[in-house]
Structures are given as structure tokens and as C-alpha cells.
A = this chain, B = another copy of it.
Amino acid sequence: MFKILRKGKQDGSRLGLLPTAGGIIETPVFMPIATKGAVKNLTPEELKTLGAGLILGNTYHLWLRPGMEIIKKAGQLHKFMNWFGPILTDSGGFQAFSLGPRMAKKGNLKTAEAKISDEGVKFKDPFDGKEYFLTPERSIQIQLDLGSDIIMVLDHCPPGMAMRKDVEGAVKRTTEWAKRCKEYFNKKVNSKSKIRSQTKKPLLFGIVQGGIHKDLREQSAKELLDIGFDGYAIGGVAVGEPRQTFWQVLEWVLPLLPEDKPRYLMGLGKPEEIVGAVKAGIDMFDCVIPTREARHGRIYKFKKRNPKLKGNFYETLQITNGKFAKDFQPIEKGCDCYTCQNYSRAYLYHLFRTSEPLALRLASIHNLRFYIRLTEELKK
């Protein structure tokens, strides 16, 4: 059961503990992304040192490669990838809809539009053209087979600028699929052969859709609440709609969600968005920004040692810029990460400019630590 330890006096923020089969998660929590069963460039031990309490895997990627037979034989995902903390897995729907067409645009002819019906999503593996059919039941089964600690329902997430009619359909389908996910999950998880004890039971989260439409967001939230989940995610943000509208979405949806369940904002965001979302009452985040930006040499840092988290409380350094060639300071004074404790900006500049792969690792360590420190600051 999710336990709220303290609430913000002047805002909606919450400090909580979320027990899962894989361990207890302190919230607010930022999840490093291990889409294919590895966080890029980093080991699980490094993630632990950085303070990561939960990581994110993806049904879509792991289903296609290495495939479920191998994950099952390996003793599930934790063991396969050597991470023994909690894992949340996304349901794969978003990737099934979006990755095929994205690859097709890049000239990969094996892929085409995914075909979505009430039954599920038919899509092709962009690499070999093989057909897959992802249903709500299949998504749950895969996530159970992965050994996920927090399982997401299969949802229908239309593009951010979709027509209202399409969003209406997506909300309806998301609710239907959520019901089927819950039914299947209950059937499987409560059968003793599959899950040995209550402490090993994964959690199941619903996902609120509805795009940029207040009534559809409200409808989606209410319908999911009627089904009942262990936590609620807000999906369909940062998918092509004007970035600012997500504040409105939070305003519409959060008051409808129960206090005593964790809330997960999917796929966001920039540091100031995370701060704002925590203040609005969000508990969980995942985002590619820290690791992806690190790989492009964009490094995040707080401006002050005890940041107030207001205004421009952070900045980014494009470490490949010539001005860092002779800068022998650490990335950020006062940062406790391995990179800042041992290396200068000049060294990172040198590694990036000479294409040394250690660059990506050192930058990823710092950026992830920055995001995790951000949640630690928020806890204060």
C-alpha cells in the first residue's frame, strides 16, 4: 500500500513510500530508462550509487528482442539484466503505434502504419518485417513474464494534435482495454501457480488519456477509477501537443485521482516541469532527457549549491563548446557524482571532441544524478 509520509503545506506535493515486490520506492521518484534491458552506458551498480530507486523497461522492445522465451529462461528481467531493485514496465502500446511509422519515414520499407482495432494493435518489427499482434492480455502476460514490479495497462495514445473524434475513440478504447487488462491481471496474479505470495505480487497502473480536452480527460480518469488500479498514470502528454497544455491536463486530472494512490506522469520532462508536476501532486517520472542529452554533450547543473527550485534554478552546458577546453572546474561544484568528484570540464570536452566512449558514460552519470538530486531536493 502506498503510504504518504508528508504533504506540502502550500502545494499538492507528497512524500511517499511505495512498496513493490522488487523493493520499497521513495517518492517522488525519477526512473532512469532501460528500454531494452540496459540503461545506456551504465551498470546497475552505478544506478544504485546514483540513487535510482526504480527503472523503466519496455514491453515492446523486450518482446521483439530478446523475446519472451529468452527472458523467461534467463529467470526474468531482473536477473537477466542484473538489476535487483524495482522495475516498472511500459505496456508497449505507444511504441507499437509510433515506432513503425517513424522508422518508415527514415526509409525502412518493412514497416507501415500499425493497425489498431478494438482487439489490439497489429504492427511489424521495423527490423525484419515480422508481424506482431499486441492485445491488452498479451501486454499483461509479457509484463508478468518479464517479472515487472509495476505493470502498465495497454492504452491507446493518439498523437497530441489528433482530431477530437479520434481522441474520443482512444479514450473509449483505453477504458475497454484497461478493463481487459485488469481482468486478465487478476486472473493470472491470483492464480497461485503464477505468483507465489502476496509480497511478490506486482502492481497494476491505469493510464489516463483524453488529449487536450478537459471533458475527455475527466471521462478517462473516472472510467479508470471505476475499474480501480494500484496507481494512475497520466499519458498522452509530450506527444506532439503544445508543450504548455500539460499543466492544464494536470489541473484537470489530478483532483479526480485518489490521494492514496501513486500518480505517474509518463515521459516527462524538463527539470522545471518535474518541479511543477511534483508541486501539483505527481509522484513518479520517467524521461529520456538526462541520458539522451548526455550523449549529445548537454550537461545539466544547478546554479546554486542549495537550489531554491524557482526561476532559472539550473543551466545546461554544451560541453563540446570550445570555452570548456581549458575549464578545469568540475561540471558542478558540490555535486556528489563520480564524474564531478573525479573529472574536469576540460577532460569531458576532450573526451567528447576525440569521440572517446567514456564521455557518454561520464556525462550520463552526471545528468542522471542531477535528475535524482532534483527529486531529493524536492523531498526536502
How far does the Cβ of A355 sit from chain B's closest Cβ, in whole Å?
9
A interface residues, tally (CB under 8 Å): 37
- A312 contacts the other chain (CB 8 A): no
Complex: A133 Cα to B326 Cα, angstroms = 24
Give every chain B residue within 8 A of A353 (Cβ-Cβ): 65-66
Chain A residues 325-360 with CB under 8 Å of chain B are: 325-326, 328, 338, 342-344, 346-347, 349-351, 353-354, 356-358, 360
- Please judge, given known A-B contacts A358-B43, A360-B357, whether A73 and B36 are in contact too, CB under 8 Å: no
Q: Does A37 contact B (CB under 8 A)?
A: yes
- In the complex, A353 Cα to B357 Cα: how many Å? 18
Binds B, one of A74-82, A168-176, A224-232: A74-82
If A357-B41, A357-B357 touch, whether A80 touches B36 (CB-CB below 8 Å) is no
- CB distance B80 to A344 under 8 Å? yes
Interchain CB contact under 8 A, B74 and A346 = yes
Is the beta-carbon distance between B66 and A325 smaller than 8 angstroms? Answer: yes
Smallest CB separation, A188 vs chain B (Å): 25
Q: What chain B residues lie within 8 Å of A195 (beta carbons)?
A: none
In the complex where A74-B346, A346-B74 touch, is A65 in contact with B358 (Cβ < 8 A)? no
A12-61 interface (Cβ within 8 A of B): 36-43, 61
Q: Within the assembled complex, what's the spacing in Å between the Cα atoms of A38 and B352?
A: 11
The majority secondary structure among interface residues of chain A is loop
Docked Cα-Cα span, A37 to B73, in Å, equals 41
Interface presence of A70 (CB below 8 A):
yes
Question: With an 8 A cutoff between CB atoms, is A379 at the interface?
Answer: no
CA distance A69 to B325 in the complex (A): 10
- Given contacts A351-B38, A361-B41, whether A326 and B70 have CB atoms under 8 Å apart is yes
- The residue of chain B having its C-beta at the shortest distance from the C-beta of A82 within the complex is B342
Task: Give the residue of B39, B325, B354 whose beta carbon is less than 8 angstroms from that of A36.
Answer: B354
Query: Are B350's CB and A37's CB within 8 A?
Result: yes
In the bound assembly, the distance between CA atoms of A1 and B326 in angstroms comes to 37
* A229 CA / B112 CA spacing, docked (Å): 68
Interface residues of A in 87-103 (CB under 8 A from B): none
Determine if B40 and A328 form an interchain contact, defined as CB atoms under 8 angstroms apart.
Answer: no
- On whether A347 and B41 interact (CB within 8 A), knowing A66-B325, A356-B36, the answer reads no
Between-chain CB contacts (< 8 Å), 18 pairs = A36-B356, A37-B356, A38-B351, A38-B358, A40-B357, A41-B358, A43-B338, A43-B358, A43-B361, A65-B354, A66-B350, A70-B326, A73-B328, A73-B346, A74-B344, A80-B344, A82-B342, A82-B347
10 nearest A-B residue pairs (beta carbon): A66-B350, A82-B342, A38-B358, A38-B356, A41-B357, A36-B354, A65-B354, A40-B357, A80-B347, A74-B328
Beyond the given pairs A37-B351, A357-B360, 19 more chain A to chain B contacts, judged by CB atoms under 8 angstroms and listed by A's residue number, are A36-B354, A38-B356, A40-B356, A40-B357, A41-B357, A43-B358, A65-B354, A69-B326, A70-B326, A70-B346, A70-B350, A73-B328, A73-B346, A74-B344, A74-B346, A74-B347, A80-B344, A82-B343, A82-B347
